[in-house]
Structure 1
Amino acid sequence: MNLQNRIERGLEQAITFATAGGKPPKVCAAVRHAVFPGGARIRPRLCLAVALASGDRNPDAATAAATAIELLHCASLVHDDLPCFDDSDLRRGRSSVHAEFGEPLAVLAGDGLIVSAFETLARGCAQAPETLGPLVTTIGRAVGTPHGLVAGQAWESEPEIDLRDYHRAKTASLFTGATAAGAIASNADPLKWLELGEALGAAYQVADDLRDTAATIEELGKPVGQDVAHARPNAVEELGLAGAVTLLQETVRKAADAIPECAGADMLRQLILGEAKRLVPKKLAQSAA
């Protein structure tokens, strides 16, 4: 089973549990709308790639970790789109959850996905119970405070924002959690994989800043120019377009170089380089060609 099929199967199983019986019907529909169809699934793919590179000793635990990470990512998107944050009616090329189902159901759907993520971890670690505690701690830290997704979102309410702290919490934290979780699920040392997660997360955020500045709505499937509209820090604003592109190239190289020696190093390197190309806005890629 390839990584994408493994992830989609894990997500389908998790959402089936979360919506068992189909009641209440509206919130069940909102939960499914938030997860399917998905995006690139880069975070769970990274988690599984590290697990495979580390021997994939507990595949159920690794799949559960990857699934939980994607559920938490989807929950963050649901909440990020709400009127109190980005007020975005578009996500992945269609209506965001609150635009489709209303704000109350969007809040509940996001909350439900967070709970489902940790339930999924508990079920998936039944055959490897020694991994459950470390996985819950690692993934929980990646999405909570003081350095996870919640902190990243909270920085947007501060009068002054340090770009590195903001990016590290809002984006890099879940990449770091993904690499560490993949290693933990395979009984490998997560510390060997932290540099990769941090570098890839930093690269992804710079790419996101570039896309917010230079891509189109059709290309992204969501509104662009959000950082300017909401007065948020942005690598392009701080470094200029050329400087941000240079920073992206540097951080991608750093991520590729951070892969530790392992059987799956080539697979991981190709995953990183392929994802980096996908993230560059088309007009920037064409001008560089």
Structure 2
Amino acid sequence: MSVSGRIEKALEAAFTRVGTSDSPPRLAAGMRHAVFPGGARIRPRLTLAVAAACGEDEPALVDFAGAAIELMHCASLVHDDLPCFDDADLRRGRPSVHKCFDERTAVLAGDALIVLAFQILALGSTQPQRLGALVTILARAVGGPAGIVAGQAWECEDAPDVGLYHRQKTGALFAGASMIGAAACGAQHDAWRQLGETLGEAYQAADDIGDAESSVEALGKPVGRDLAFGRPSIVAQFGLAGALQRFDRLVEEAIASIPSCPGVNDLQTLIITESRRLLPKQHWQRAA
């Protein structure tokens, strides 16, 4: 099965295994709307890529770990789109959850997806001795001290720290994705933190560039939000040329940070190829 097929199968299984027959219909529908159909699934793809590079021995556990990461990401998008934050009408080319349903349903759907991520790790664990590391990695990637919750909270501050904002809002979950892929294989996961954090910074740089230069049709979500809301942005801080240079440097640093592993060459090639897709099309040649 392809990587994409494995991720979608695990996400569907997450909803099936916890059951939604007793769930309020709007909540169940809101949760599914947030997850299916998905976007590029970049974070779970990173999880599976790291696991493959480490020589995965439990594919089912890896798949559930990747699905847990994606559920956390989807939950963060639901909350990010809320009127109290971005007030975004579109996500992935469709109405955002609060626009399709209502704000109360969106808040609860995001909360439920966070809990579901932990549920599927527990239900899908084929290696109980690895569960502690998996849960700890996921919690740290999301929690208040330095996870995506903290990253979102920087938008509530009068003088946000741009570096911390990006490392937490974006880099934390990328770090979690890479580390959880290694941990699902029983590999030493701390060594993979730097790869995820650096890729997360590169992704955020590309996202800032897209927000400044791309279109609603290309991104499937509103653009120009950083400027409209006065949010921290690499483009605002360094200009477009500086943002592009920073993106290039971060991709190089990510490749250099890959720990020694059986599949290091394949992973390096994959990162080079996938990084091209992050930028608006007019800049694809730069990352080729």
Alignment of 1:39-188 (within 5 A): 39-125=39-125, 127-188=126-187
Q: List runs of 5+ in structure 2 lacking aligned partners.
A: none
Aligned CA-pair RMSD:
1.6
Relative to structure 1, is the Cα distance of residues 288 and 207 closer, same or farther in structure 2, using a 3 angstrom cutoff? closer
Alignment of 1:182-261 (within 5 A): 182-261=181-260
Contact 2:275 2:287 in 1 (8 A): no
Q: Which residue of 2 aligns with 1:16?
A: 16
Matched, 1:36 2:33: no
How far apart are residue 35 of structure 1 and its match?
0.3
Residue 190 of structure 1 aligns with an amino acid whose one-letter code is H
Relative to structure 1, is the Cα distance of residues 225 and 180 closer, same or farther in structure 2, using a 3 angstrom cutoff? same
Work out the CA distance in 2 between the residues paired with 1:80 and 1:246.
27
Contact 1:63 1:124 in 2 (8 A): no
Work out the CA distance in 1 between the residues paired with 2:183 and 2:286.
41
How far apart are residue 48 of structure 1 and its match?
1.1
- Secondary structure at the aligned position of 2:168 is classed as helix
Relative to structure 1, is the Cα distance of residues 220 and 188 closer, same or farther in structure 2, using a 3 angstrom cutoff? same
Q: Deviations over 1:91-128 (max 9, x none)?
A: 00111000001111111111111111000000111x21
Q: List runs of 5+ in structure 1 lacking aligned partners.
A: none
Residue 95 of structure 1 aligns with an amino acid whose one-letter code is P
Identity %: 55
Residue 253 of structure 2 aligns with an amino acid whose one-letter code is K
Residue 58 of structure 1 aligns with an amino acid whose one-letter code is E
How far apart are residue 51 of structure 1 and its match?
1.1
- Secondary structure at the aligned position of 2:21 is classed as helix
Contact 1:19 1:28 in 2 (8 A): no
Work out the CA distance in 2 between the residues paired with 1:241 and 1:34.
31
Relative to structure 1, is the Cα distance of residues 159 and 13 closer, same or farther in structure 2, using a 3 angstrom cutoff? same
Residue 271 of structure 1 aligns with an amino acid whose one-letter code is L
Q: Deviations over 1:126-152 (max 9, x none)?
A: x21011111111110001121000000
Q: Please report the TM-score for the alignment, with normalisation by the length of structure 1.
A: 0.96
Residue 281 of structure 2 aligns with an amino acid whose one-letter code is K
Q: Please report the TM-score for the alignment, with normalisation by the length of structure 2.
A: 0.96
Alignment of 1:256-271 (within 5 A): 256-271=255-270
Q: Deviations over 1:171-193 (max 9, x none)?
A: 00001111111111111111221
Work out the CA distance in 1 between the residues paired with 2:175 and 2:260.
18
How far apart are residue 261 of structure 1 and its match?
2.5
Contact 1:54 1:183 in 2 (8 A): yes
